[in-house]
Chains A and B, each alone.
Chain A
Amino acid sequence: MNGVRLELQDKIVLDGLDLELATGEIHGLLGANGSGKSSLAYAVMGCEGYRPGAGEIVFEGRRIDDLPIHERARLGITLAWQEPARFEGLAIRDYLRIGERGADVNDCLRRVGLDPDDYADRTVDKTLSGGERKRVELAAVLAMQPKLAILDEPTAGIDMLSMDALITVIEALKAAGSTVLLITHQAEVAAHADRASQLCGGRIVCEGDTTRVLEHYRKRICRRCDGKTCHV
């Protein structure tokens, strides 16, 4: 992302943001609530209303700013929403098959801790708990075998045991060759990243080695706000 500027309802959400991900890395994106993390994810995915007013988004050497979501997905980009949508009448097995590229959907369910015998025929609707729905979303990302997986707060709202399992899944994505943009406000989750960036007020204020970025984040060191709006 080069100089990306995004305004929503007259508010600058991304302010000339620069961010580069290396192929195959897990990149942690840290930031307080309202710092622009999810907006960045939606801009990369191409969601309605999140088209940058300036700057460019480049994927594998190609500008993708003008591409609709599904064309970005077909290039290998996908997004797991923080609060995934629910669907009446759509079986989990069929949901996972939508973007599947040769992966065994049952195996994807097992990897996120869901027994296919119990879950594959259930529907992706409100009968799933929040934690179950998030696991299904991660299983769908696994099935897609994306080149770039954007995971927006994948561990929010789930218990500690499940969190360990999901960290394993994120590492499995990397092992399979995916680049992972791991969006979180939890330092302990970001600690699993190869590199990290800290976002404040729509700008990257610190990036590079995960340990160093986490230290800045924990100590509220921020060149933009002097720690006034960055919090752990």
Chain B
Amino acid sequence: MSDFKPLFDLFTTAGWAPPPIPEAAHLVAYGHQLASLRSLPGVRVEAAASDAGIDARIVIAAGVRVDQPIHLCFGLYQQFGVQNVRLALTLEPGAQVTLWAHRLFATPLAARHAMQGEFQLMEGASLRHQEAHYHGVSGEIEVIPHARIRLEKGARYLADFSLIQGRVGRLDIDYSVDVGEAAVAELTSRVYGFGSDAIRLRERLELNGAGARGLVKTRVAVRDEARAEVFGIMEGNAAGARGHVDCMEIVRDRAEVSAVPEVRVRHPQAKVTHEAAIGSVDSKQLETLMARGLATDEAVDLIVRGMLT
């Protein structure tokens, strides 16, 4: 069942070096076809394919610390297609793992990818979730990753989503995290939209356990006629909960961004803060770089790339 060539071709198209996927625990699917999956001791990877989509389940056993990242690669190498993914991920108590999720779409003309995730991190578990997307250059794609994540006592969930090469198309992210006692959640999203791209980011952290910590950080740059809506939502619902929402958006040309940081506190000993900066490139940053000899466009590119790095 292992067929990595289309995947590695997609990596090449995106300009990325293929990671050592075959040796690691992994799940690779093109459209609604499973291309490869591999479990390792302590890491169980299961999946079933049907016309309705890919139904996957990954379980990391209690206390297992996986040094090599687990790879989740979904994509389409055809111009037309639909990919629906249901992913259940469980980290049993004390498990520690890094998940590298790649979403690769080479030349979509009419494509749609939707993921519905259910993640559970049990007591003391730790997940570093890095998700990188490449959607090609046509903009004719719709990508809808939604996930509900539950963190039990002392769990840590650090997520980093990036879509900074090629077109976005239409992106609709909706992540919601229930953060338990002394647990930590950090969601970082970096997206660069142009042309007629449409971006919607909705990231919600509910700090429900005593001493829970949370950060929602978004970095979005748009130009041309791209549109972005950013919702960073933080709720402090327990004693000692601490949360912060940090939005920074750069807007150029006729593009438009709305950012809605929503903070809510339901416990007198919780504290939630937010900061948001939306606008064109900061003139002082721009002039500083120009005073080193960069032309305006070069300076703007450097500032935008830095913000999205």
Contacts and interface: CB of A to CB of B under 8 A. Distances in A.
B5 interface: no
Interface stretch (A29-37, A55-63, A71-79, A221-229): A71-79
Contact of B294 (A70, A81, A84, A123): A70
Interface stretch (B88-96, B251-259, B283-291): B283-291
Nearest to B305: A89
A140 B287 CA distance: 14
Given A90-B302, A140-B292, 11 more contacts: A47-B287, A70-B290, A70-B295, A73-B291, A73-B293, A85-B284, A85-B285, A88-B219, A88-B306, A88-B309, A98-B293
Interface residues of B, number: 24
Interface in A57-107: 68-70, 72-74, 77-79, 81, 84-90, 98-99
B288 A89 contact: no
B303 interface: yes
B274 to A, nearest CB: 16
A1 interface: no
Given A89-B307, A89-B308, A90-B302, A78 B291 contact: yes
B307 A84 contact: no
B288 to A, nearest CB: 5
B3 interface: no
A69 B288 CA distance: 9
Nearest to A79: B291
Interface of B: 219, 248, 282-285, 287-296, 299, 302-303, 305-309
Closest 4 CB pairs of A and B: A99-B292, A89-B309, A89-B306, A69-B290
A84 B290 contact: no
A48 B306 contact: no
The interface centre, meaning the residue of B282, B293, B296 with most chain A CB atoms within 10 A of its CB, is B293
A90 B304 CA distance: 10
Nearest to A47: B287
Interface of A: 45, 47-48, 68-70, 72-74, 77-79, 81, 84-90, 98-99, 123, 140, 144
A187 B299 CA distance: 36
Contacts of A87: 285, 303, 306
27 contacts: A47-B287, A48-B287, A69-B287, A70-B291, A70-B293, A70-B296, A70-B299, A72-B291, A74-B293, A78-B291, A79-B291, A81-B284, A85-B282, A85-B285, A87-B285, A88-B219, A89-B305, A89-B306, A89-B307, A89-B308, A89-B309, A90-B306, A90-B309, A98-B292, A98-B294, A98-B302, A140-B292
Contacts of B284: 81, 85
A86 B285 CA distance: 7
Contacts of B303: 87
A77 B292 CA distance: 9
Contact of B292 (A47, A88, A144): A144
Contacts of B285: 85-87
B289 A98 contact: yes
Contacts of B287: 45, 47-48, 69
A72 B295 CA distance: 11
Contacts of A85: 282, 284-285, 288
B284 to A, nearest CB: 4
Nearest to A137: B288
Contacts of A73: 290-293
A172 B285 CA distance: 26
A83 B219 CA distance: 24
A68 B295 CA distance: 9
Contacts of B294: 70, 98
Contacts of A98: 289, 292-294, 302
A48 to B, nearest CB: 6
A224 to B, nearest CB: 30
A78 B292 contact: yes
Contacts of B282: 85
A140 B296 CA distance: 19
A68 to B, nearest CB: 7
Nearest to A70: B290
